[in-house]
A and B are shown apart, each in its own frame.
Chain A
Amino acid sequence: MSVDLDQTPRSLLVCDRSSFLDEKNRISSQVEQLHFNYKVSVLLPECSSAPSHLDSVLNSFSSFYLIRKLPIHELLDKHFLEMAVYQGSAYGVSYRTRIDEDNCVALMPNGRLCLTLDKDSFQLLGFEGKLSRFTHRTNSRYVVSVDLTDSSMAPGGRGYLRLLTGLRSRLHLKCDFLLSHHPGGGASLQPLLSHYDWSEHRPEISTHALTHLSCPAQLTSDLQSCDPHSFLEWLGAVDGDISSENSPSSFLSSFVCPEPKTTLSQALSISVCGLLLPQDVHRLIQEIRCYLEQPLLESWVSLTVHGFVDSPVSWGGSEHGVLRGGENFYTLLMFHDHTYHLHLATGAHDICPP
């Protein structure tokens, strides 16, 4: 065993560069595959108040529901399946559970139910699953993933009954659950909501106006010349309200805006928090594209979407885990000529984003 304190857990950053006009652009699938979005933040340069149509999109983000102490077998309820899972897309993720410690549950829009369980719970459940990719020496975490739209999982089917008895009579798995539905909203979720203690939540919008903001000047040039890490760092600094007005020799902080830089007289940073649907994010992107078509001084807008740290999946159905931080987010930098730069980032326990 060697003592090497210089190593850090792996991290991945994928940088895509394409155009909305390109037939083969994959932006919509990349946006839709990140199912459980926690926060969306938009940075509008040279803008003092949000344009009304952008504002209305932000305000029309679907609301989501928190159900307290939901027994997970209720997700297999026949009415619920008919109302929410078979029609439209249901998004559900367990809340106040930690993926590296507890049992976590996710209901994906394609009708897949994903349970990541510790060894004891998995053995109690008695349903086939596979070993988590991210277990270390001991096999202590298992993933059970079932397709609820499959014929064997239809109510009354063999697999359905096995899972139902497992969840109902052996493993009494209960957790707080965040749930949302597209396009039905609360109405589709009624079969579930009516029985339990629940509350409706609106995505929380906060707006932050910035003035005299240093900004990298080369945002319009190609990917190579604008180092993605320093760009993301700068964006993070703007988001976190961190000053970049330092001299490189300063004792406290030598963080500066990447050179060459310009100064924006004003900028607007808007963020939305909650369980946000990819569909809403998609609408927001379309709206921003319209906004960019207007002749303006600065011709770019950036949009960052953070996934849930403790969601069992990140992009698509690929397993997600937490080693020290479960970051999974993407930043979309859009330009008025319909080109975009997309940066997808994940932490140590994730596979490469699409």
Chain B
Amino acid sequence: MVRVKSRYLLCEVNVSDRSRLLLLDDRTIAVAVKAVVARTHGDYGAALCSVGFSVKYLNAHTGIVFLRLPKRCYRLLWSALPFITSVEARGQKIPCFLNCLHVGGTIRTCQKFLIRYNTQQLHRMLPKCKNEEEKQQVRQAILNCSLTRGKNEALEDELGSEEDEGE
């Protein structure tokens, strides 16, 4: 059986006020992406975007989002993403931009990258910690990322099942 080939974009939603991230949900991101693709690539882009595009996962706490794009036109759609300047969520306009961190062929590779990336981020945060307690917390988090497999596997399972359903 031939698989529908996709590309998964791992993006980071950057906002000035991190508390507003929690307002986001899958749909708002999808709407924003579709709108910006229609604006930059017109009807043609919008048409390509209407088949095989979806927001696979959104972590409203960290602002991480997985976009699924059809492989044949992911470059075209990707080129529109930098033009997102705001996302409309629950009646509020949230100024933000999408920063693409990784492009992968499966959700799994993206997720592996994400774990590595988050570890790096934690490492970067470590020296900035104000007191020992915070430092300890961050250290613990790093250890969790790299050592404890239980949590990761749970996440992988969740994503893995979504992927299957997508094909």
Contacts and interface: CB of A to CB of B under 8 A. Distances in A.
Direct touch of chains A and B (CB < 8 A): yes
Interface of A: 1-3
A3 B49 CA distance: 13
6 contacts: A1-B72, A2-B72, A3-B48, A3-B72, A3-B73, A3-B76
Interface string B64-105: 000000001100100000000000000000000000000000
Listed from nearest, the 5 A-B pairs whose CB atoms lie closest are A2-B72, A3-B73, A3-B72, A1-B72, A3-B48
A1 B72 CA distance: 7
**Secondary structure of the A contact surface, majority rule:** loop
A185 B131 CA distance: 105
Contacts of A2: 72
A3 B70 CA distance: 11
Contacts of B72: 1-3
Contacts of A3: 48, 72-73, 76
A217 B51 CA distance: 54
Contacts of B48: 3
A3 B47 CA distance: 13
Nearest to A2: B72
B105 to A, nearest CB: 15
- Chain B contact-residue range equals under 10
Nearest to A1: B72
A5 to B, nearest CB: 8
Nearest to B76: A3
A3 B73 CA distance: 6
A216 B31 CA distance: 54
Nearest to A4: B72
A3 B48 CA distance: 10
A82 B48 CA distance: 64
Contacts of A1: 72
Contacts of B76: 3
A3 B76 CA distance: 9
B74 to A, nearest CB: 10
A85 to B, nearest CB: 54
A171 B72 CA distance: 46
A20 B32 CA distance: 67
A2 B72 CA distance: 5
Interface string B106-142: 0000000000000000000000000000000000000
A242 B107 CA distance: 55
Contacts of B73: 3
Nearest to B71: A2
Nearest to B44: A5
B116 to A, nearest CB: 30
A34 to B, nearest CB: 41
A36 B73 CA distance: 44
B145 to A, nearest CB: 37
A293 to B, nearest CB: 58
A2 B76 CA distance: 11
Nearest to B73: A3
A2 B71 CA distance: 8
Nearest to B70: A3
A1 B76 CA distance: 15
Nearest to A5: B44
A3 B72 CA distance: 6
A2 B48 CA distance: 12
Interface string B50-73: 000000000000000000000011
A200 B72 CA distance: 57
A1 B71 CA distance: 9
A306 B76 CA distance: 40
B53 to A, nearest CB: 14
Nearest to B48: A3
A1 to B, nearest CB: 6
B72 to A, nearest CB: 5
